[in-house]
Amino acid sequence: MSTALPPSPLVGLGERGTAETEATPPRASTIPLSPALPHEGGGGSTTVLSVRNLSVALPGGADRPFAAENISFDVNAGEILCLLGESGSGKSVISFAVMGLLPDNVRVSAGEILLGDENLLTLSPAALRGKRGDDIAMVFQEPMTALNPVMTCGDQLDELLAEHTQLSANERKAKTLAMFEAVKLPEPDRIFSSYPHQLSGGQRQRIMIAMALILEPKLLIADEPTTALDVTTQAEVLSLIKTLQRERGTAVLFITHDMGVVAEIADRVVVLQNGKQVEAGTKDQVLRQPREAYTQMLIASVPGTEPPAEGTLHDEAALLSVTGLGKTYSSGGWFQKKRTTEAAKNVSFTLHPGETVGIVGESGSGKSTVARCITRLIDPTVGDMQLGNTRLDGVSRDSLKLARKRIQIIFQDPYRSLDPRQRVGEAIIEGPLNFGVSRNSAMARARELMNLVRLSPDVLSRYPNEFSGGQRQRISIARALALDPEVLICDEAVSALDVSVQAQVLKLLEEIQAQLNLAILFITHDLRVAAQICDRVLVMQRGEVVEQGTARDVFITPKHAYTQRLLASAPGRGFEFATQRNVEA
Amino acid sequence: MNSTVKRVLKNGAVRFGLIVLSVLVILAILAPVLGTVDPAWLDAINMNQKPMTTADWTGPDNKTVPYTFLMGTDSFGRDVYSRVIYGIRVSLVVGVTVAVVSLIIGTFLGLTAGYFRRVDAILMRVMDGMMAIPGILLAIALVAAWGAQLSTVIIAIAVPEIPRVTRLVRALVLSIREEPYIEAAISVGTPTWKILLKHVLPNSVAPMVVQGTYVCASAILLEAILSFLGLGLPSEIPTWGNIMAEARVVFSSAPHNMWFPGIFLAFTVLAVNMLGDGLRDTLDPKFNKRGEKR
């Protein structure tokens, strides 16, 4: 899979050839792609991290012998190198190898990792620990778990400075506050004495970045740092990382699965697949003229933000109509002051047979609350819901049983939506059995459904852990279809999937919809996905619908300021994949 | 499922526990044919014999045979070896029965409390109340009320364990009921009892089995304590606690009477606990990813 890159004037000269070409020592005359500032009287080479022919072996019994094989790349001062790959590509293993944090049963079997001219692989654990604080810093995906919950944010930075510098207490505090200022945290004084749980996700990630950069490391490793964040917060954090890294000349090794993030932040890109280096080059080369079929496929799988031209009009009677739906949570009671939260208020829309309506919004916008109210997994506080002539609200859950059959839901997390102790065949026929279908005919239907979702009917007797995320999501679709529903609710159904798998599942949903004339309510935070498959879109913010209309109207001429901000935050808008429709499986 | 069994059997602690327990079970079943004599028979001539002494032994049928007292005799002239071997029966029966009884009742209560919010508050306050009663005190009261017999001892030990099992099962159910696969089952119209039996219960079995082993170990210990204090089974019935209680009086002259039942008790509890630890390590997903270098 590994390929040699033909010499190109555009490629950073520090760029290493790939696996098969002999690694040449970094040249002192390297011209960095970005205006790199020599670091701390660095002088000489500006290559900060050099990974050469790195192979990481997996223990016996794993699905492949190497987690990463023959990986070579350089990260220069003042430059951001993105490791791009889908799940299982080995990108995180490489970053763990650099940090010396590989699990015990996984070891580096060949190659070297040079920080400056020191090989990190031969350092003692104590020396490596020193390097980790002073020279290499890390930012992880989930800031809540990476911060100590019982220490104030200020104390956590103070501890770092006390450990690694000779500064006095006052100097440390001043430096910490300055750093909070630099990562654009509001009211640094308040944040200094706040605990992590008192801050928002974006603020916590800023604290992580402040912690990572306060010792002025040469190398910052960022492992999916914005994946857990909402799209508008992500845009802010990405631009923050970029600004700080430019100012300080830090080399950044940025690990991501998101093509849009690469487009926003990368100087150079290394594409990985199944532990092998597929392609490497500058951002423009890789994203605009990908050489390898795999990279081309990845880019083609990224949905664009521009909805397809044709908009089908559905003027039949509405199948599902929701009017004035609201859900209020109240907490407190005897000992506490009562507090109410409006998770959704005054949501109204209709859904016609064969139509796809999208609900888009960031986390906490109430989009999932709406889905769960419609399926009556939770009870709405106010509002009318009608499915054809049947009322969905106000009736008891038992008399709802027949309506349940007509509305089915697919959940986000394919690893948690199937019972790990239930064979997939049993999961698919569970619904029909509940409605009195005989076991034999339910099983026969399950086999048909497996064909419909492109899985072999022979695997019905297996347990869910034998399937990949994409396959599990197909099984979930088959389970939902087993009851012949009229409405299918997809609650972030493709958000946990790799982009190439996501494209396949979306295509499958479109085909099934055309075949069965299903009405689909598609709930997602991903504007690209919504743009591609929805006929109409509702945009939700803090429980309210702020804008709704046809997909073309909403995405091309957004009227509400929040929709405009969401669209502007979608990463990678300057690149072709971002605007063209290109969903191919 | 098969691969899980294989993985569990690969664990050293599980193997040790299983081997020791299998040996004990075999000894308990084969007790009459392992060269033992009537464990309750008092032979006044052979009081306080040292281990390995060979002497003439007169049994209940008045026949006198030469017999080697492997572990000596107690101050009533009863053969300690026979008493220790027969004592395995009581310990294992009490341990296993208490574990099974408290698991069954605790699981039922835990499922109810965890899944039905309305029952939860009342049921758990009752459990809190039960946990406030000291186990030994309850046992003393029950034995005093119903007399010293095996069923009383089992009930006395099982009752204080029930709230602990209930709490564990309730906590498991509370986290499992939020899983999307439960919501998926609700949305395909599965009735609640079926959800509890087919989805919630199978997914909480592993931690319950582990908890069962700990209950079993503590029941064996508690039974020995009760017998030692004279609150358990009548002293003629051979239990390790009874043997040690009688040995206490003559401990300075015949310490072996204390050692042998003590060693058996310690090994049994160790084996059960190691089995539990091994099961926890192999079945609990939280312990799978340990061993990261720092």
Residue of B nearest to A410 (CA): B184
Find chain A residues with C-beta within 8 A of B183's C-beta.
377, 409, 411
Residue in chain B lying closest to A463 (CA)? B1
| The pair of three-digit structure tokens given for residue A336, joined into one six-digit string | 């506490």
The partner residues of A537 in beta bridges, in order of sequence, read A358, A549
Any chain A CB within 8 A of the CB of B189? yes
CA-nearest of A230, A243, A242, A178 to A204 is A230
How many domains in chain A? 3
How far B202 CA lies from chain A's nearest CA (Å)? 7
> CA-based Rg of chain B, rounded to a whole angstrom?
23
pLDDT value of position A354: 87
Task: Please judge whether B198 and A422 are an interchain contact, meaning their C-beta atoms are less than 8 angstroms apart.
Answer: yes
Q: Which residue has the higher pLDDT, A579 or B119?
A: B119
Task: Provide the mean pLDDT of chain A.
Answer: 82
Contacts of A484 in chain B (CB under 8 A): none
Contact present, B262 and B188 (Cβ < 8 Å): no
B176 part of contact set with chain A, CB < 8 Å: no
- C-alpha to C-alpha distances, A248 to A113, A220, A267, B161, nearest whole angstrom: 23, 11, 16, 61
Query: How many Cα atoms within 13 Å fall on the side-chain side of residue A59?
Result: 5
> CB of A390 within 8 A of CB of A403?
yes
Gap from A168 CA to chain B (nearest CA, Å): 29
Cα B83 from Cα B74, distance rounded (Å): 10
Radius of gyration in angstroms for the set of CA atoms belonging to chain A, rounded to a whole number: 26
State pTM to two decimals. Answer: 0.77
Q: A506 and A551 in one domain?
A: yes
pLDDT tops 60 at residue A15: no
On chain A, the residues whose CB falls within 8 A of the CB of B175 are: none
Q: One-letter amino acid identity for A100? A: G
| Residue A463, in any domain of the structure | no
Say whether residue A569 is in contact with chain B using an 8 A CB cutoff: no
- The CATH number linked to A289 is 3.40.50.300
Could you tell me if residue A469 is inside a domain?
no
A421 lies within 8 A of chain B by CB: yes
Identify which of B183, B198, B202 has the shortest CB distance to residue A411: B183
Within this chain, do residues A295 and A352 fall inside the same structural domain, yes or no? no
* DSSP-based three-state secondary structure for A531: helix
Residue A104 and residue B293: Cβ atoms within 8 Å?
A: yes
Residue A25 pLDDT greater than 90, yes or no: no
Residues 6+ apart with CB under 8 A from A583: A301, A303, A503, A506, A507, A532
Cα distance from B189 to chain A (closest Cα, Å)? 6
Interchain contact B58–A (C-beta under 8 A): no
Sign (positive/negative) of CA torsion B66, B69, B74, B79? negative
pLDDT at A325 over 70: yes
Q: Is residue A21 pLDDT above 70, yes or no?
A: no
pLDDT for B86 beyond 80: yes
**What pLDDT, on a 0 to 100 scale, did the predictor assign at position B1?**
53
Mean pLDDT of A439-468: 88
Q: Residue A277 in contact with residue A2, Cβ under 8 Å?
A: yes
Average pLDDT over residues A390-419: 82
Phi, psi at B53, each rounded to 5°: -80, 140
Whether chain A has a CB inside 8 Å of the CB on B197: the answer is no
Judge: A434–B183 Cβ closer than 8 Å, yes or no. no
Greater pLDDT, A585 or A423? A423
Stretch A312-334: mean pLDDT: 78
Strand partners, A51: A73, A113
List chain B residues with CB under 8 Å of A104: 291-293
Residue A11 lies in a domain: yes
Strand ordering across the sheet containing A251-256? A118-119, A107-115, A47-57, A66-76, A276-282, A268-273, A80-84, A251-256, A219-223, A136-139
The reply to whether A422 touches chain B by the CB within 8 Å rule is yes
For residues A3 and A149, state if they share a domain: no
Q: Classify residue A499: in a domain, yes or no.
A: yes
Question: What residues in B contact A434, CB-CB < 8 Å?
Answer: 188-191, 194
* A91, A152: one domain: no
**CA angle, B225 then B231 then B237, to 5°:** 85
Q: Is the pLDDT of residue A343 over 50?
A: yes
A125 to chain B: closest CA residue:
B294
Contact at CB, A422 and B188, closer than 8 angstroms? no
Q: How many CB atoms lie within 10 A of CB A107?
A: 16
In the predicted model, is pLDDT for residue A16 greater than 50? no
Greatest mean pLDDT among A390-404, A567-581, B4-18, B40-54 lies in: B4-18
Residue with the bigger pLDDT between A49 and A132: it is: A49
Domain of A515, in residue numbers: 320-329+339-414+485-579
Looking at beta carbons, which residues of chain B come within 8 Å of A103?
Answer: 289, 291-293
pLDDT tens, residue by residue, A61-105: 777 788 888 899 999 988 999 999 888 788 888 888 888 888 878
In this complex, the residue of B190, B191, B291 whose CB is nearest that of residue A104 is B291
Sheet of A519-524: strands edge to edge?
Answer: A407-410, A487-491, A519-524, A356-360, A536-541, A544-550
Q: Which residue has the higher pLDDT, A363 or A506?
A: A506
Looking at chain B, the whole-number percentage of residues with pLDDT higher than 70 is 96
Q: CA A354 → CA A280, A386, A483, B95, distances in Å? A: 43, 17, 17, 62
Mutate to test the interface with B, among A334, A412, A430 (most CBs of B within 10 A): A430
Q: Which two tokens stand for residue A8?
A: 């190109």
Contact list in A for residue B179 (CB cut-off 8 A) is 416
Task: Count contacts between A and B (CB, < 8 Å).
Answer: 75
Inter-chain touch A416–B180, beta carbons under 8 Å = yes
Q: For residue A512, what are the CA distances in angstroms to A89, A149, A485, B110?
A: 30, 46, 12, 42
Of A567, A527, A531, A573, nearest to A552 by C-alpha is A531
Residues A399 and A280 in one domain: no
Predicted local confidence at residue A577, as pLDDT: 62
Q: Does B202 touch chain A (CB under 8 A)?
A: yes
Is residue A439 in a domain? no
For strand A356-360 and strand A136-139, is the pairing parallel, antiparallel, or unpaired? unpaired
Q: Let me know: does B76 contact B82? Beta carbons within 8 Å.
A: no
User: What is B23-285's CATH number?
Assistant: 1.10.3720.10
User: Which of B181, B202, B292 has its CB closest to that of A418?
Assistant: B181
State residue A4's pLDDT score. 41
Contact of A159 with chain B, judged by CB distance below 8 Å, is answered with no
Query: Distance (Å, rounded) from C-alpha A560 to C-alpha A564?
Result: 6
Is residue A418 within 8 angstroms of chain B, CB to CB?
A: yes
Residue B248 confidence class, pLDDT cut points 50, 70, 90: confident
What is the domain partition of chain B in residue ranges?
A: 23-285
- What is the mean predicted confidence (pLDDT) over A245-265? 89
**Residue B190 backbone phi and psi in degrees, to 5:** -75, 130
Looking at A273-351, list the stretches that DSSP marks H as alpha helix, in order from N- to C-terminal side: 283-288, 293-301
Q: Are residues A269 and A128 in the same domain?
A: yes
The DSSP letter of residue A182 is H
Angle at CA A282, nearest 5°, toward A112 and A93?
35
Phi, psi torsion values for B63, nearest 5 degrees: -90, 140
Q: What is the pLDDT of residue A335?
A: 67
Distance of alpha carbon A388 from alpha carbon A321, whole angstroms: 8
Higher pLDDT, B263 or A395: B263
Whether B268 has a pLDDT exceeding 90, the answer reads yes
Tell whether A494 is covered by a domain. yes
Instruction: Tell me, yes or no, whether A110 and A47 share the same domain.
Output: yes
Residues A500 and A560 in one domain: yes
Q: What is the mean pLDDT of residues A141-166?
A: 86
pLDDT at A364: 78
Q: Note whether A570 and A259 are within 8 A (CB).
A: no
User: Residue A39's pLDDT band (boundaries 50, 70, 90)?
Assistant: very low
A89 and A155 both lie in a single domain:
no
The answer for A 85-114 residues in CB contact with B (under 8 A) is: 100-105
Checking ipTM against 0.90, whether it exceeds it is: no
Note whether A103 contacts B292, CB cutoff 8 Å: yes
Nearest CA in chain B to A464: B181
Average pLDDT over residues A44-56: 83
- Are A85 and A272 in contact by the 8 Å Cβ rule? The answer is yes
- Report d(CA A427, CA A386) in Å as an integer: 28
CA A379 to chain B, closest CA, distance in angstroms equals: 13
A484 and B CB contact within 8 Å: no
Give the distance from residue A68's alpha carbon to the nearest chain B alpha carbon, in angstroms. Answer: 18
B179/A contact by beta carbon, under 8 A: yes
Q: Find the CB nearest B187 among A101, A105, A375.
A: A375
| Same domain assignment for residues A5 and A118 | yes
Residue A55 sits in the same domain as residue A125: yes
A196 lies in some domain: yes
Whether the CA torsion A189, A194, A198, A203 is positive or negative: it is positive
Q: Do B187 and A418 touch (CB under 8 A)?
A: no
**Helix (DSSP H) and strand (DSSP E) numbers for chain B:** 11, 2
Task: Indicate yes or no: CB of B187 within 8 angstroms of CB of A482.
Answer: no
Residue B75's pLDDT band (cuts 50, 70, 90): confident
Mean pLDDT of A442-455: 89
Q: Are residues A401 and A529 in the same domain?
A: yes
With pLDDT > 90 as the criterion, what percentage of chain A qualifies?
15
Q: How high is the pLDDT of residue A578?
A: 47
Distance from B200 to chain A by nearest Cα, in Å?
9
- Distance from C-alpha of A290 to C-alpha of A335, rounded to nearest angstrom: 62
Q: Give mean pLDDT, residues B12-23.
A: 92
Burial class (CB in 10 A: 0-12, 13-18, 19+), A35: exposed
Within a 10 A sphere around the Cβ of A40, how many other Cβ atoms?
Answer: 9
Residue B225, classed as helix, strand or coil, is: helix
Say which of B203, B292, B294 has its CB closest to residue A419.
Answer: B203
* CA-based nearest residue to A207, from A231, A190, A227, A219: A190
Query: Per residue in A173-217, pLDDT tens?
Result: 999 999 998 888 888 888 898 888 888 888 888 898 888 888 889
Q: Distance between CA A217 and CA A230 in Å, rounded?
A: 27
Q: Which residues of B touch A422 (CB under 8 A)?
A: 181, 198-199, 202
Note whether A104 contacts B190, CB cutoff 8 Å.
no
**Residue A312's pLDDT is what?**
62
Model confidence at B253, pLDDT cuts 50, 70, 90, reads confident
What tokens appear for A209 in the block? 């970045």
**Among B248, B244, B246, B272, which residue's Cα sits nearest to residue B260?**
B244
* pLDDT tens-digit readout, B121-157: 899 999 999 888 888 888 888 888 888 888 988 998 8
What's the mean pLDDT when you consider all of chain B? 85
What is the model's pLDDT at position A583?
Answer: 40
